[in-house]
Amino acid sequence: MKIKVFSKEDIPGAVKLWNSCARNGQTVYAPITEDRFQEIFFESPHYRQEYVIAAFDEEGQMAGFGAGLLKRFYLQGENFDNTPAYVTMVLVDPQKQRRGVGTAILRDLEDRFRTAGKRKAAITYRNPAALTWDIPGHRGIQHNNAPGVLMDSPGFHFFKDQGYELMRVENGLYLPLAGYKIPQRILEKREVLREKGIETGMFDPEKHEGFEELFDALRGEVWRQTIRDNQKRDRPLPVLIASDRGKIVGFAGPIDREENGRGWFNGIGTHPDYEGQGIASVLFHCLMETFASIGAEYSTLFTDEENPAMFLYQSAGFSTGAKFGVMEKERL
- Concatenating the DSSP letter of every residue in 192-228 gives HHHHTTEEEEE--TTT-B-HHHHHHHHT-HHHHHHHH
Alpha carbons 210 and 40: distance in angstroms, whole number: 34
Binding residues with ligand COA: total (CB under 6 A) = 21
Q: Is 31 in the site for ligand COA (CB under 6 A)?
A: no
Among 20, 44, 83, 97, binds ligand COA (CB under 6 A): 97
A 10 A CB-CB count for 181 gives 11
User: Least distance (Å) from ligand COA to the CB of residue 48?
Assistant: 18
Instruction: Write out the binding residues for ligand COA, residues 130-159 only, by CB under 6 A.
Output: 149, 153-155, 157-158
User: Least distance (Å) from ligand COA to the CB of residue 44?
Assistant: 16
Alpha carbons 294 and 206: distance in angstroms, whole number: 24
Radius of gyration of the chain (CA): 21
Q: Is 100 in the site for ligand COA (CB under 6 A)?
A: yes
Closest to ligand COA by CB, 68 vs 253, is 68
Closest to ligand COA by CB, 157 vs 207, is 157
Q: Is 101 in the site for ligand COA (CB under 6 A)?
A: yes
Strand duo 298-304 + 262-270: pairing: parallel
Q: Is 279 in the site for ligand COA (CB under 6 A)?
A: no
Closest to ligand COA by CB, 89 vs 322, is 89
Q: Is 116 helix (H, G, I), strand (E, B) or coil?
A: coil
Q: Is 209 in the site for ligand COA (CB under 6 A)?
A: no
Q: Is 282 in the site for ligand COA (CB under 6 A)?
A: no
| Pick from 220, 174, 280, 271: nearest CA to 76 | 220
DSSP lists the bridge partners of residue 2 as 56
Give the binding site for ligand COA (CB under 6 A). 21, 26-27, 89-92, 97-103, 149, 153-155, 157-158, 161
